[in-house]
Structure 1
Amino acid sequence: MRFTSLGSGSKGNATVIQAGTTTVLVDCGFGLKEAETRLQARGIDPAQLTAIMVTHEHGDHLRGAPMLSRKHGVPVYATPGTARSFKTPVPLFKPINVHQRFCIGDIEIEPVTVPHDAREPVQFVFNYQQFCMGVLTDLGSITPLVTRSYQRCQALLLECNHDPDMLANGPYPASLKRRVGGDWGHLSNQQAAQLLSSIELNGLQHLMISHISEHNNHPDLAMAALAPVLQNNAALQVHTLTQDEGCPWIPLQPA
């Protein structure tokens, strides 16, 4: 199993996961041409995607998914609540039941419901043979289900959206500050650290700090908040995902 981020942030998110003969695109928050360009930069022909999975309907996750699906004949997996936001028909739509695991090609997927201000948001844990990767962004609080679901990942793409002080003193209007910092908004650096302190880290090989706000956070602040939790995991590789470049392909090693 290996993965790559095509970009992560408030202007667009997309992650690709490959295992066996299966290539899955998780979210497509870029326009059609930009998504195609970013995929091709990673050596991926968009028509060879096995599936596009959408976590929720916000534009920085959904924007290019319907167009990419229609042009290249790739099925889109999303919850029925998310699908209500498709502005044009998606002929290859596949509904996700958030209460059931399912398979796409060689990959088994566990959907994880999360508290976020969307119709039916979901995040995912991906399993292939002895490999496990979690994608967890766009949630405002840590639930017992989230803690249980992400216990034994070898790679975790985790939201560190904002620093509370920067958010409080930043340029957002008060209503948006309440939304971002609320229980249905986005994870702060400290909340991300809280989750990491509650899960099994011995097998974690790669931690991807993601969805960093360009107005309300800084990578150094995120790293400082996470450092006390990660200090005894010398072998863990921590990466900061950027909006423009994401990260190159990263392979997982057997547990």
Structure 2
Amino acid sequence: MLVSVLASGSKGNSTLIKTKEYNLLIDAGMTTKYLENALRKHEMLLSEIDYIFITHTHSDHVNALKTLTKRYNPTIVMSSSMLEDLKYLKDYENIEIINDTLNIGNILIEVIPTSHDTNDSNGYVITKDNKSIVYITDTGYIHQKHFPKLTNKSIYIFESNFDPEMLSYGKYPRRLQRRILSPTGHLSNQDSASYLSRLIGPNTKKIILAHLSQDNNKKEIALETLEKTFKEKDINFTNILIAEQDNVTELIEI
């Protein structure tokens, strides 16, 4: 498998997972033009996308979906609750409802329920040939009952949304601050570091910190928080990448 984060942040999110047999997107939250340009960097076309997995229906995760389903014919994978939110898909025939797991050839996709202020939200674990990608963003917490499915995976694309001090002293009104801090909000840098310190293992090759807030976080703070937590817990791991809003990462081989 190959993976590239095409965009990650409050304005839009999309990640490419490429195998010899299939091309998958997790979310399509940027404009169609942006996604076309992003895929072109990997010598790909939007018409080559076979599946689009939806984490939830906020606009920064589904912005291009309506256009993509009109122009192309990708299989859209989501929960039944998400489909209820996206009325424009009611007549679209190429939809796969996912509850717990889904097999696409020899690719296994497992649903990890997340906690966000929307009708339904999911993360995913995608496994092929004993290599796994964990994709978790837009959640206020992760229930420990899901830890066994998340432990010791190859790559973690993991939310590190905000720095609590920047949020507290920033421009956001208290109502919005409370939403972000709530159990149905987002993971802080400290939350992310704490979870990752418990989840990564000998098989882990890379961590990609994702969905950083443009207003309430900085790359340097997110990285420093994770590195500090790892040092405190005697974890020797340095292969960490910060996903950005408008920069496409390289194709990372798992």
> Under a length normalisation based on structure 1, what TM-score does the superposition of the two structures give?
0.93
C-alpha distance in structure 2 between counterparts of 1:222 and 1:147, whole Å: 22
RMSD value, Cα: 1.5
Matches of residues 72-221 of structure 1 in structure 2 within 5 Å? 72-89=72-89, 90-97=92-99, 100-221=100-221
1:191 CA drift (Å):
0.4
Q: Relative to structure 2, which stretch is displaced further, 102-111 or 177-186?
A: 102-111
Structure 2 gaps of 5+ residues are: none
Number of matched pairs? 250
Deviation at 1:171? Answer: 0.5
User: Secondary structure of 1:198's partner?
Assistant: helix
Q: How does 1:1-40 map to 2 (within 5 A)?
A: 1-40=1-40
Contact 2:50 2:75 in 1 (8 A): yes
- Kindly state the Cα deviation for residue 235 of structure 1 after the two structures are TM-superposed: 5.6
Contact 1:210/1:242 (8 A) holds in 2: yes
* Contact 1:20/1:106 (8 A) holds in 2: no
Question: What is the match of residue 70 of structure 2?
Answer: 70
> How many Å separate the matches in 1 of 2:130 and 2:20?
12
Which digits, 9 at most, give the CA deviation of each residue in 1:132-191, with x for residues without a partner? Answer: 111010000121134232102110001000011111111111111001111100000000
* Rounded Cα–Cα distance in structure 2 between residues aligned with 1:41 and 1:195: 32
1:51 aligned residue: 51
Relative to structure 1, the CA distance from residue 18 to residue 145 in structure 2 (aligned partners, 3 Å threshold; closer, same or farther) is: farther
Q: 1:140·1:182 contact (CA, 8 Å) conserved in 2? A: yes
Rounded to whole Å, the distance in 1 between the matches of 2:18 and 2:9 is 22
User: Structure 1: which 5+ residue stretches go unaligned?
Assistant: none
- Alpha-carbon distance in 2 for matches of 1:228, 1:190: 10
Question: In the alignment, what sits opposite 1:41?
Answer: 41
Find the aligned partners of 1:85 and 1:32 in 2 and give their Cα distance: 20
Shift of 1:103: 1.1
Aligned-pair identity in percent equals 27
Contact 2:38 2:248 in 1 (8 A): no
- Deviation of the 1:80 alpha carbon: 1.1
SS of the residue 1:84 aligns to: helix
Q: Work out whether 1:240 is the aligned partner of 2:242.
A: yes
SS in 2 for 1:56: coil
Query: What TM-score comes out, normalization by structure 2 length?
Result: 0.93
Instruction: Give the Cα–Cα distance (whole angstroms) in 2 for the partners of residues 36 and 215 of structure 1.
Output: 27
